C-alpha cells in the first residue's frame, strides 16, 4: 500500500460533445478559474484550450475542444479538425451530453468520431439540475449506452455541483503513472493575450444579436504593465460587414462601452491588476473563409 501511495498519475483528457452542452462550464468549475469562455451560442469555443487540474497524487490536463459539427466555412473546418485531433493524443475522453435534450444527429456524429479511437470514453450526462425526473435521466442515458460501449457513465450538473468526486474518480482510474508536467500554480497553457481576447469575445457574444456572434474575432494587439501597476490592453474586435460594426458599437458607443466594462472586470479578476482596456471595432470581409485572417487570429497554423 505504501508504494501505491507514492505513485503519481498524470495524463490528458479531451472534453468533447456537440456545441452548447456545457463543456466549458464543466472545465471552469473543475479548475476553479474562468479560463474557457462560456456562452449559450453554438460554436463558442474555437481553439483547443488546455486547463490543468492538480490533485493530491495526480495532474490532469483537460483539453476543451470546439464542438464537433458539420463545418460550413474554413473556420468551421479548422474547429472540427482541432477537436478531432485532440482525440488522438489523450488518455481518456469525456463525451458531454445535455440530458434535457433527446439524442440527435449532432450527438451521433460525435459518437461516429469516437468510434475511430480506442481511447476510453466516459459519458458525462450534464445539466441534471434541470431535469424533472430520474426516469427521464435513465431514459436519456440508455439512448446513448445502447449505441456505444462507454467506459463509465457519470451524471453531473456542471453549473451547480460543488465537487465532482465520481467523475474525477473515473478519470483518475484511467490515467497512466507519470510525472507532474506543469507547476502547481499553472492552470492553462494559453498566453494571457489569448485569454484576454477570448474574454472580450465572450462579452460580445453575450451582448449582440443572433447574426453577429459567428462573425466575431478578437485580436489583442498590445498588452503591457504600466508604471502604476495597471495593465494596458488594446484589442480589436473584427466583424465581417459594416452593418455588424454598427451593432457592436451601439448607439453613441453604448454597447461597446458595456462590453469593455464587463470584459475589464473579468480580466482584473484573472490578472490580479487594474486593467485599462482600449477596444476598437474593424471590418474584415468574409474573414472566416480566408486563410490569412484565420492565421492572424490564431485559428490556423
> Does residue 138 sit in the same domain as residue 14?
yes
162 and 96 inside one domain: yes
Final residue in a domain of this structure, among 172, 206, 232:
172
Average pLDDT, the chain: 82
Residue 252 lies in a domain: yes
The beta strand positions in 127-244, using DSSP E, are: 152-155, 217-225, 231-239
148 and 227 fall within a common domain: no
The percent of residues above 90 in pLDDT, for the chain, comes to 32
Domain residues for 159?
2-172
- What is the domain count for the chain? 2
Cβ distance 204 to 216 under 8 Å?
Answer: yes
Measured CA to CA, the distance from residue 44 to residue 201 in angstroms comes to 9
> Any idea what the CATH number is for the domain that residue 217 is in?
3.30.300.20
Q: Are 124 and 62 found together in one domain?
A: yes
Choose the final residue of a domain: 172, 202, 231: 172
Q: Does 159 share its domain with 213?
A: no
Give the pLDDT of residue 44.
Answer: 43
User: Of 111, 138, 172, which one is at a domain's C-terminal end?
Assistant: 172
pTM score of the predicted model: 0.66
Question: Is residue 187 in a domain?
Answer: no
- β-partners of residue 174 are none
| Residue 76 pLDDT exceeds 70 | no
**DSSP 8-state code for residue 215:** G
**Given this model, what pLDDT does residue 74 score?**
60
Q: Is residue 15 part of a domain?
A: yes
The pLDDT tens digits for 207-217 are 876 656 577 88
pLDDT of 254 strictly over 80: yes
Residues contacting 266, CB < 8 A, separation 6+: 34, 199, 202, 203
Average pLDDT over residues 44-52: 62
Q: How confident is the model at residue 278 (pLDDT cuts 50, 70, 90)?
A: very high
Is 143 in the same domain as 204? no
Residue 78 clears pLDDT 60, i.e. is over it? no
Least trusted range by pLDDT, from 8-12, 185-189, 276-280? 185-189
Q: Are 61 and 22 within one domain?
A: yes
Interatomic CA distance for residues 68 and 77, integer angstroms? 10
Distances in whole angstroms, Cα of residue 5 to Cα of each of 2, 54, 57, 296: 5, 16, 8, 47
Report the C-alpha gap between 218 and 7 in whole angstroms.
43
CA–CA dist 45, 222 (Å, integer) = 23
Q: Which is more confidently placed, 45 or 79?
A: 79
The pLDDT tens digits for 185-202 are 888 767 778 888 888 888
Largest CA-CA distance found in the chain, in angstroms, rounded: 68
CATH number at residue 71: 3.40.50.300
Residues 129 and 232 grouped into a single domain: no
Do 206 and 164 lie in one domain? The reply is no
User: What is the Cα 201 distance to its own chain's centre?
Assistant: 13
Return the pLDDT at 40: 41
Given this model, what pLDDT does residue 35 score? Answer: 58
Helix (H, G, I), strand (E, B) or coil at 287: helix
Asked if 282 and 296 touch (Cβ cutoff 8 Å), the reply is no
Q: Exposure of 156 by Cβ count < 10 A (0-12 exposed, 13-18 middle, 19+ buried)?
A: buried
Closest CA to 155 of 145, 167, 171: 167
* Domain shared by 60 and 15, yes or no: yes
- In this structure, the answer to whether residues 167 and 238 fall within a common structural domain is no
Cα–Cα distance for residue pair 217/281, rounded to 1 Å: 10
Specify the 3-state DSSP secondary structure of 234. strand
Q: Do 120 and 74 sit in the same domain of this protein? A: yes
Amino acid at each position: 500500500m505504501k508504494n501505491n501511495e507514492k505513485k503519481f498519475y498524470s495524463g490528458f483528457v479531451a472534453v468533447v460533445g456537440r456545441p452548447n452542452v456545457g463543456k466549458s462550464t464543466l472545465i471552469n468549475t473543475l479548475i476553479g478559474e474562468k479560463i474557457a469562455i462560456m456562452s449559450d451560442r453554438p460554436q463558442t469555443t474555437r481553439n483547443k484550450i488546455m486547463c490543468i487540474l492538480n490533485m493530491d497524487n495526480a495532474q490532469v490536463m483537460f483539453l476543451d475542444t470546439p464542438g464537433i459539427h458539420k463545418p460550413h466555412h474554413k473556420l468551421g473546418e479548422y474547429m472540427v479538425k482541432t477537436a478531432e485531433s485532440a482525440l488522438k493524443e489523450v488518455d481518456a475522453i469525456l463525451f458531454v451530453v445535455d440530458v434535457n435534450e433527446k439524442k440527435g444527429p449532432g450527438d451521433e456524429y460525435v459518437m461516429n468520431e469516437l468510434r475511430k479511437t480506442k481511447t476510453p470514453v466516459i459519458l458525462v450526462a450534464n445539466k441534471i439540475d434541470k431535469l424533472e425526473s430520474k426516469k427521464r435521466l435513465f431514459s436519456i442515458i440508455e439512448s446513448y449506452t445502447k449505441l456505444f460501449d462507454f467506459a463509465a457513465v457519470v451524471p453531473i450538473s456542471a453549473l451547480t455541483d460543488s465537487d465532482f468526486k465520481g467523475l474525477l474518480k473515473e478519470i483518475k482510474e484511467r490515467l497512466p503513472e507519470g510525472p507532474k508536467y506543469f507547476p502547481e500554480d499553472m492552470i492553462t497553457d494559453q498566453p494571457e493575450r489569448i485569454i484576454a481576447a477570448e474574454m472580450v469575445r465572450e462579452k460580445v457574444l453575450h451582448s449582440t444579436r443572433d447574426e453577429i456572434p459567428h462573425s466575431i474575432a478578437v485580436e489583442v494587439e498590445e498588452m503591457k504593465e504600466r508604471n502604476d501597476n495597471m495593465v494596458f490592453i488594446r484589442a480589436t474586435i473584427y466583424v465581417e460587414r459594416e452593418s455588424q460594426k454598427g451593432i457592436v458599437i451601439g448607439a453613441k458607443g453604448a454597447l461597446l462601452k458595456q462590453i469593455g466594462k464587463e470584459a475589464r472586470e473579468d480580466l482584473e479578476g484573472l490578472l490580479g491588476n487594474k486593467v485599462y482596456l482600449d477596444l476598437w471595432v474593424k471590418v474584415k470581409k468574409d474573414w472566416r473563409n480566408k486563410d490569412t485572417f484565420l492565421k492572424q487570429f490564431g485559428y490556423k497554423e
